[in-house]
């Protein structure tokens, strides 16, 4: 099993997308990339901790490749928006790939460059690619939020 960590705005809808993928063993939503130990949702919402809302994906690379996970990540949000997704504004909603190995770093960078060369988006891709940092699991009510409520997707893109 391997681990991948992605930030693509509100983590509820992004987690739901990864949960549909054959070969994804588990997902968890949480916070990464900030300065505070064990942050709470209320703390990261102040935009003062530096954390991003992220989804940690544990997957079987024999069934789904990291490149396939990257494709889902790109499709799950607008990577050209800086520190926001739709109505959600703040550094906690930034587009970021936290890589867990040199190989993941290379694949993430190559994927981003390929999209930029292909002019898939009208604006430059703002996605950050950074080494994985400590993942802090979000409060239980955030885990599988949409699934628990019988919602196929985020109705407003905001919470």
Angle at which helices 11-19 and 66-75 cross, to 10°: 140
Q: Kindly list the distances between the CA atom of residue 81 and the CA atoms of 52, 94, 103, 122, 126, in Å, as whole numbers in the listed order.
A: 14, 8, 26, 11, 6
Whether 154 is catalytic: no
In the 8-state DSSP scheme, what is residue 140? G
Q: How far is CA 2 from the centre of its chain?
A: 16
The continuous run of DSSP H or E covering 141 comes out as: none
Instruction: Give the active site residue among 7, 8, 9, 10.
Output: 10
Q: Which residues are catalytic?
A: 10
């Amino acid at each position: 099993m391997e681990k991948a960590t992605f930030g693509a705005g509100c983590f509820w809808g992004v987690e739901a997308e990864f949960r549909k993928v054959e070969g994804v063993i588990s997902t968890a939503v949480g916070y990464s990339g900030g300065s505070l130990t064990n942050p709470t949702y209320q703390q990261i919402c102040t935009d003062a901790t530096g954390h991003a809302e992220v989804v940690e994906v544990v997957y079987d690379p024999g069934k789904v490749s990291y490149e396939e996970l990257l494709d889902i990540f790109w499709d799950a949000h607008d990577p050209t928006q800086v520190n926001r997704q739709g109505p959600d504004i703040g550094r906690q909603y930034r587009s970021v790939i936290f890589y867990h190995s040199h190989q993941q770093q290379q694949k993430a960078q190559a994927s981003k460059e390929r999209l930029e060369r292909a002019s898939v988006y009208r604006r430059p891709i703002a996605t950050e690619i950074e080494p994985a940092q400590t993942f802090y699991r979000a409060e239980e009510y955030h885990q599988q939020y949409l699934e628990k409520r019988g919602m196929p997707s985020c109705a407003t893109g905001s919470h």
